[in-house]
Amino acid sequence: MRQGYKDMKCGLLGEKLGHSFSPMIHGELADYSYVLVEKTPEQVEDFVRNGELDAYNVTVPYKKTVMPFLDVISPEALSIGAVNTVVRGKDGKKYGYNTDYFGFCYMLDASGIEVNGKKALVFGTGGASATVCAVLRDKGVKSLVVVSIENNTPEFLAAHADAEIIVNATPVGMYPHNGASPVKLSLFPDCVGVLDVIYNPSKTALLLEAEARGIAHANGLSMLVAQAAKAFEFFTGNTAEAGACEKIITSIEAQTKNIILVGMPGCGKTTVGKLIAKQLGRPFYDADDVFTEEFAISPAEVIQGEGEEKFRQMEHEIAEKLGKLSGAVISCGGGVVTREYNYHSLHQNGTIIFLERALENLSKKGRPLSQSTPIEQLYSARIDAYRRFADIVVASTEVPENTADLMIQKLFEGEKI
């Protein structure tokens, strides 16, 4: 972090900013204050003309809105038709820049996806789309097609089924509207690369589909960090430290990804999860407790009164709710893996850990399915799903504190065992 900017007032202008990682990123770049400024469209002009911030970023939907109220706009911002960085100069003038171009260049290079000579389909017509298109043209795409809301039709998409690069430059799928996607990748059999400028969730529905199909893909976190580093230069007149982007991306991913525990009933997920949350200073959620609070009935009561299938439907609602969180530790019910549709809900923003424990050490207390079905039968039916869901497998040490330490070690190593 660069020191010496404590007197500067910086921030982010937008309409809905609850999802933003920008304060964390700028907190890693420098010691200036960085606040979130939510304004309605009617309030934007007054803020730009009379606001007290020394410098600020601009996000959707105001990257074009702010432009008429600025005194000077940089050539690249004029060319793109969008401003995402505003600085109040010492001369009193308001200067507009676009650092998203630099950010998307960085994202594209970091992804390893080669676009030169390929056909690209870009979804969206706003400021982000204009930036993406400018970069893709400069990177040598063979042809470029922009898909608007109006022409996002089966007929139009069928005419471009030969697209090799798909880019989402819309907010479709962004928190809190997780699960939505601008298009199905099955329409593009030649697709070799998918880029989504959204960074929360870490894996949008579009990226989850790319992952499932084995297509190279990347989210927008690297773009966000790289554009912030460039904005820092305009804010302060100094360059970011060498390697700052890579360091901050790693740090933000570590802070914002959920840690999700799955495993057999009675394996100790809640106990170990609470220990991990305490060590890392994160909030802890037990999915069964959240279920009871949400529905005013316990999982056991639902299973006994309405059957397992009804419980699984309700459990999925909880998995979707918890899966949208960032930076939480979540203990799931033992059977969450028995429904494949829970995978995307949990995987979109988290690292899933399978806590494996010897069957003879599993607790059956208060667990109706464990009591009604032989534990060996449950284990046999679920073990493949546990391993399929898991990013990391950790065997219980039978000492919760030691198991928690082992999990944290594996998380930071990023090791799959």
Sequence-distant (6+) residues with CB within 8 A of 301 are none
What share of residues in the chain are helix, strand, coil (percent, to 5)? 45, 15, 40
* Segment (H or E) for 378: helix 375-389
User: What are the start-end ranges of the E strands in 68-131?
Assistant: 72-73, 85-88, 94-97, 119-123
Residues in the chain predicted with pLDDT less than 50, given as ranges, are: 415-417
Task: Report DSSP letters for 135-194, one per residue.
Answer: HHHHTT-SEEEEE-TTT-SHHHHHTTTT--EEEE-SSTT-TTSTT--S--GGG-TT--EE
Greatest Cα-to-Cα distance within the chain, rounded to the nearest angstrom: 77
The pLDDT score that the predictor gives to residue 306 is 97
Q: Is residue 60 exposed (0-12), middle (13-18) or buried (19+ Cβ within 10 Å)?
A: buried
pLDDT 10s digits, 346-384: 999 999 999 999 999 887 665 566 556 788 999 999 999
How many helices (H) does the chain have, and how many strands (E)?
A: 17, 16
Q: Let me know: does 225 contact 255? Beta carbons within 8 Å.
A: no
The pLDDT score that the predictor gives to residue 369 is 61
The pLDDT score that the predictor gives to residue 415 is 43
Q: How many CA atoms lie within 13 A of 49 on its CB side?
A: 8
**Beta-strand relationship, 193-196 and 165-168:** parallel
Angle at 21 between CA 197 and CA 238, to 5 degrees: 90
Residues forming beta bridges with residue 9, ordered by sequence position: 33
> Residue 31's closest CA among 55, 57, 10, 52?
10
Task: Report DSSP letters for 298-312, one per residue.
Answer: -HHHHHHHH-HHHHH
Q: Let me know: does 345 contact 319? Beta carbons within 8 Å.
A: yes
What single-letter DSSP state applies at residue 361?
A: G
Q: Is residue 182 exposed (0-12), middle (13-18) or buried (19+ Cβ within 10 Å)?
A: buried
The pLDDT score that the predictor gives to residue 368 is 62
Q: How far is CA 106 from the centre of its chain?
A: 18
> Residue 226's closest CA among 329, 390, 107?
107
Catalytic positions, please? 63
> Residue 94's closest CA among 112, 77, 118, 109?
77
pTM over 0.85: yes
Q: Is the dihedral of CA 253, 256, 262, 265 positive or negative?
A: positive
Backbone angles phi, psi at 177, to 5 degrees: -95, 45
Number of Cβ within a 10 Å radius of residue 356? 17
Residues forming beta bridges with residue 406, ordered by sequence position: none
Starting at the edge strand that comes first in sequence, how are the strands of the sheet with 350-356 ordered? 284-286, 329-331, 258-262, 350-356, 392-395
Residue type, 361: N
Prior bond of 176 cis (ω within 30°): yes
Number of Cβ within a 10 Å radius of residue 410? 18
> Residue 94's closest CA among 157, 37, 47?
47
Residues present in the chain in total: 417
